[in-house]
Amino acid sequence: MKLNIAWARELVATRASAEYLADRLIHTSSELEDTILWPKLLESVVVGEVTTVTRHENAQRLNVLTVSTGNKNHTIVCGGTNVATGIKVALALPGAELHPQSGNCIQIKATTIRGTESAGMVCAQEELGFPPGAAGEIWILPPTATPGMPLHQYLGLTDAVLDLEITPNRPDLLSHLGLAREIAAFERKPLREPTVLSIDSSSKRLPHLVEMVVQGKETAHKAASLSFTVLPNAKTPAVAIGRLYAAGIKTVHPVVDATNYVMLELGQPLHAYDHQLLSRGSEHTTLTVTSLSKATEFTGLDGKVYQLESGDTVVMEGDRIVALGGILGGAETAIHKDTTEVTIESVCFAAPAIRRASRRLGLRSEASLRSEKGTDQELVVTALKRIAELLVLWKIAEPSSKISDTKAARHERAHISVSVQDITQQLGMNLSIPDAKHILQSLGFRTVSTTKSSLVCIPPSWRADVVQLEDCIEEIGRMWGYDRIPASPMTSSGRAPIPNNTWILTAKLRAGLVASGYSEVQLQPFVSEEALNRFSIPVSTAVRLNNPFSANAAYLSPTGMLTHLISVAADQASDTHFHFETAHRFVTKDGKPSERNTLSIIAHSDELPVTLHNDVSAAIALALQSAAIPTKLSWSNNGRTSSISDSISGLTLGEARLLSSTELQQWKIRRGKSVLCVEIDLDTLLSLGTQNHIYEPATTFPQVSRDISLALQGCSWSDLETIIHKKRPVLLQNYTLHSKAVLDKTLVVTIRCIYGTDRTLTDTEVTTAHDALIAQLQKVSGVTIR
């Protein structure tokens, strides 16, 4: 909402600077998005009068004008197609800096155009930062303009225009009156409501009555109409033009301009029909606001054809749709330059239907913006009386009927009780009832009863958002000033917080992985069906979005392995990636989407798979250790895939994949030989809990270590472990994989066995035990002792 400060000063007598008012508005209701200083933007732009027009000698489409600014004549080369002697124009003198809405700043200098000196520029509206006029034409000002007068003064744009962000709960602030009311409240100044023309409904019967009818509560709350006869030589006054332009609204026709003016002033959209086109000569015309029962076409006054749907709110005359309610008038009854009789309609529409239609059709006008948020039904008649006042004052039109209005929809207004205690409990500060009462009254609330410790108030008709105590507290708090509410320290809740183990352990796992040289990533989860197929994930197990951005991002990846792979493939700059991510994953289970917590890892480098696996498994082991999760992971051997489980409980914890060279090519991973990825289900892993380690005293008896080297062919480490666990000699206290190497394409492992007991062992005892273990391991097929 663009608040014209000069306009606001008519509604509230304040001398405070625009800057100060902006700051107070920020602190009480609306964020400031921009400040537009027209006096500065229109510096060195003045009213000029064209006294001569001659064709440029060297250019067919250019004219050389003499433009008078009262006491001085300027020679200006101009390309406008509508120049003529005697017209008043906006003349930008050398030194002016123009800021069109589209495009760059224009610096005006005295220059020579095709051999003729030009001392400035005669401007079109658009060049001045105003809404565009007709293409190729310069802006012709009203004939009353005084040559030499600075343009911003002529247009009444003498102060700042504040572009304010109005929150959706405050449609009443989409008007100068509404914002002036806020200013009046914090400035403690009276609000001066705009004057209206009193139209005596009992006076002589005027000929052009158009009766308003509302069908259904879902269409409108109240509607009214008033007809006028347009006066000859009607012109929109300069100040009105300035105010419309500063709001970004084009001038169209003096009557239409007045409807827009009233909308900006009061917040009530009005629509003007050509009365003759509307009534088609009939004495009794009825306009019905109704809900459309079936889809149909409608031609708007912009000449475009719109597809209306059943349920759209429309205004009908007979069986014709003459307007799309609150959004756009129809072409058939639109005002044109020869219109002599007009009917102005004022309706408080039911917002939801307007919002639906304007969104669907992509029609967001200044009118729809207000109607779709809900207007004040008590403004419906006031707005008509206000436009009557303006049309008469501006000599644009005279009323030719009385006002026809419908009965207002019943509107129960809440009686809200506010006590000192309520204010203290909510805001944490003490405020007296007289202070609270003053704030509420200055915002238009009525107080129906007041005691020392409480009051009962009724919110005004334009504050549909205020329905209960907390809404009133907000009004009191914001007008008192949030900055004046004390900032108090937190009081004790009286209980100790319960730690969230999932959160704590996940953070420890992350820290463990980082310590092992893994970088955390945050990846978008959206993948294509093709990616799922390529990674052999059944599409039926993935969760599909109903409204994806594109088919390429229609699914949520059920595994982090896939999103890692996609992002690694996208980072062609690196040939190594050691990444991990902790995230929620989504899968379709029994036809329903479900969610789980996961840890996924990718390792990508030039190393052999065995090295990558060592890297990943060591990192996971360290992470598990740093989180003190009591588990020993067991990785199964299934060729290129592995299932990871907890060897203690047997629970499956996750899976791992080693990509083949063909797969790497498919994923276009050109650098780095091996890619290994892992996903672990954190919900299951963390269900194992944490372990409090019980420390034992260091043994005083020496331990003896003996190594065995074994070559493995067609046999895996886990096969060896199975045997060690089954046939474990009593004296074997521990064993570790001491080293591993690939020799002649055969994996050679060295197991270090630690023997010991609660006394000192003899060499023979150790040898016997160790030989027994070797004998058992030798029985495993594919094992050769080295």
Partner 1 sequence: MSNANHPLSLEVLTRLKSGEARSRIRESILGKNGRFKVLLRELGTLPGADRQAANTKLQSLRTHLEHLLEDVPSNTTSTVDLDWSLPPTPQRTGSLHPITAMIEEMVGIFSELSFEVVEGNELVSVAENFDNLNIKPHHPARDGHDTFYITEEILLRTQTTAVQVCELKKRHQSQDLPFRVVVPGRTYRREADATHSPMFHQLDAVVVDQNATFAELKGVMQYFAQRLFGDEVETRFRPHHFPFTEPSAELDVRLKNAPAGSRLADWLELGGCGMIHPDVLRRAGISPRTYRGWAFGMSIERPVMIRHRITDLRQLFSAENQFLQQSHIILP
Which residues between 543 and 572 bind partner 1 (CB under 8 A)? 543-549, 553, 556, 564, 567-568, 570-571
Under rule CB under 8 A, residue 473 binds partner 1: yes
State the nearest-atom distance from the C-beta of 295 to partner 1, in Å. Answer: 20
Give the integer Cα–Cα distance in Å for 609 and 625: 24
Q: 546 vs 692, which CB is nearer to partner 1? A: 546
Q: 101 vs 576, which CB is nearer to partner 1? A: 576
Binding residues for partner 1 restricted to 238-277, rule: CB under 8 A: none
Structural contact between residues 452 and 394, judged by C-beta atoms closer than 8 angstroms? no
Binding residues for partner 1 restricted to 694-753, rule: CB under 8 A: none
Owner of token pair 């498994």: 617
Q: 489 vs 650, which CB is nearer to partner 1? A: 489
- Pull the structure tokens for residue 98: 């123009």
Structural contact between residues 217 and 348, judged by C-beta atoms closer than 8 angstroms? no
Give the integer Cα–Cα distance in Å for 266 and 191: 13
State the nearest-atom distance from the C-beta of 9 to partner 1, in Å. Answer: 23
Backbone dihedral region for residue 328 (phi beyond 0: left; psi -120 to 50: alpha; all else: beta): beta
Under rule CB under 8 A, residue 53 binds partner 1: no
Q: Which stretch binds partner 1 (CB under 8 A): 106-114, 320-328, 351-359, 719-727?
A: 351-359
State the nearest-atom distance from the C-beta of 343 to partner 1, in Å. Answer: 31
Could you tell me the CA-to-CA distances from 360 to 307, 353, 373, 693 in Å, in that order?
A: 10, 11, 16, 64
The CA-based angle 777-783-786, given to 5 degrees, is: 90
Sign of the C-alpha dihedral, residues 361, 367, 370, 374? negative
- Residue of 105, 498, 694, 698 that binds partner 1 (CB under 8 A): 498
Structural contact between residues 53 and 84, judged by C-beta atoms closer than 8 angstroms? yes
* Radius of gyration, alpha carbons of the chain: 41
| Residue 416, beta-bridge partner list | 457
Could you tell me the CA-to-CA distances from 356 to 294, 361, 376, 437, 609 in Å, in that order?
A: 16, 9, 20, 39, 58
Binding residues for partner 1 restricted to 443-472, rule: CB under 8 A: 468-471
Give the integer Cα–Cα distance in Å for 776 and 786: 15
Binding residues for partner 1 restricted to 115-174, rule: CB under 8 A: 167-170
State the nearest-atom distance from the C-beta of 418 to partner 1, in Å. Answer: 13
Under rule CB under 8 A, residue 778 binds partner 1: no
Q: 188 vs 495, which CB is nearer to partner 1? A: 495
Q: 293 vs 522, which CB is nearer to partner 1? A: 522
State the nearest-atom distance from the C-beta of 692 to partner 1, in Å. Answer: 22
State the nearest-atom distance from the C-beta of 579 to partner 1, in Å. Answer: 6
- Residue of 174, 347, 513, 659 that binds partner 1 (CB under 8 A): 513
State the nearest-atom distance from the C-beta of 599 to partner 1, in Å. Answer: 13
Q: 24 vs 752, which CB is nearer to partner 1? A: 24
Q: 517 vs 697, which CB is nearer to partner 1? A: 517
Give the integer Cα–Cα distance in Å for 751 and 767: 15
Q: 112 vs 468, which CB is nearer to partner 1? A: 468
State the nearest-atom distance from the C-beta of 526 to partner 1, in Å. Answer: 7
State the nearest-atom distance from the C-beta of 603 to partner 1, in Å. Answer: 11
Under rule CB under 8 A, residue 671 binds partner 1: no
Return the number of other C-beta atoms located less than 10 Å from residue 136's C-beta: 11
Q: Which stretch binds partner 1 (CB under 8 A): 453-461, 540-548, 646-654, 704-712?
A: 540-548
Question: Of all helices (H) and strands (E), which one includes residue 384?
Answer: helix 379-393
- Residue of 176, 370, 579, 770 that binds partner 1 (CB under 8 A): 579
**Full DSSP string of 167-189:** -TT-GGGSSHHHHHHHHHHHHT-
- Residue of 270, 583, 710, 766 that binds partner 1 (CB under 8 A): 583
Give the integer Cα–Cα distance in Å for 208 and 226: 8
Give the integer Cα–Cα distance in Å for 744 and 447: 96
Under rule CB under 8 A, residue 540 binds partner 1: no
- Residue of 134, 409, 448, 507 that binds partner 1 (CB under 8 A): 507
State the nearest-atom distance from the C-beta of 119 to partner 1, in Å. Answer: 40
- Residue of 288, 516, 636, 750 that binds partner 1 (CB under 8 A): 516
State the nearest-atom distance from the C-beta of 738 to partner 1, in Å. Answer: 23
Under rule CB under 8 A, residue 487 binds partner 1: yes
DSSP 460: -
Residues 6+ apart with CB under 8 A from 319: none
Binding residues for partner 1 restricted to 352-371, rule: CB under 8 A: 352, 355-356, 359
Under rule CB under 8 A, residue 786 binds partner 1: no
- Residue of 80, 237, 267, 477 that binds partner 1 (CB under 8 A): 477
Give the integer Cα–Cα distance in Å for 748 and 744: 10
State the nearest-atom distance from the C-beta of 32 to partner 1, in Å. Answer: 10
Q: 402 vs 585, which CB is nearer to partner 1? A: 585
Give the integer Cα–Cα distance in Å for 325 and 327: 5
State the nearest-atom distance from the C-beta of 23 to partner 1, in Å. Answer: 11
C-alpha count within 13 angstroms, C-beta hemisphere, residue 746: 15
Q: 425 vs 432, which CB is nearer to partner 1? A: 425
Residues present in the chain in total: 786
DSSP 539: G
Structural contact between residues 124 and 115, judged by C-beta atoms closer than 8 angstroms? no
- Residue of 36, 199, 458, 521 that binds partner 1 (CB under 8 A): 521
Q: 171 vs 444, which CB is nearer to partner 1? A: 171
Classify 254 as helix, strand or coil: helix
Q: 2 vs 510, which CB is nearer to partner 1? A: 510
Burial letters 470-492, b for 16+ CB under 10 A, else e: eebbebbbbbbeeeeeeeeeeee
Give the integer Cα–Cα distance in Å for 248 and 129: 9
Binding residues for partner 1 restricted to 365-424, rule: CB under 8 A: 424
Could you tell me the CA-to-CA distances from 180 to 12, 175, 177, 642 in Å, in that order?
A: 6, 8, 5, 71
Binding residues for partner 1 restricted to 3-42, rule: CB under 8 A: 26-31
Give the integer Cα–Cα distance in Å for 363 and 131: 18
Q: Which stretch binds partner 1 (CB under 8 A): 54-62, 577-585, 673-681, 713-721?
A: 577-585
Binding residues for partner 1 restricted to 584-613, rule: CB under 8 A: 584, 586, 593-595
- Pull the structure tokens for residue 649: 């409980």
Q: 594 vs 760, which CB is nearer to partner 1? A: 594
Give the integer Cα–Cα distance in Å for 706 and 771: 10
Q: 146 vs 169, which CB is nearer to partner 1? A: 169
Q: Which stretch binds partner 1 (CB under 8 A): 194-202, 338-346, 411-419, 542-550?
A: 542-550
- Residue of 517, 639, 650, 702 that binds partner 1 (CB under 8 A): 517
State the nearest-atom distance from the C-beta of 518 to partner 1, in Å. Answer: 4
- Residue of 53, 239, 331, 523 that binds partner 1 (CB under 8 A): 523
- Residue of 428, 434, 538, 689 that binds partner 1 (CB under 8 A): 428
Compute φ and ψ for 465, nearest 5 degrees. -80, -15
State the nearest-atom distance from the C-beta of 581 to partner 1, in Å. Answer: 8
- Judged on CB neighbours under 10 Å (0-12, 13-18, 19+), 257 is buried
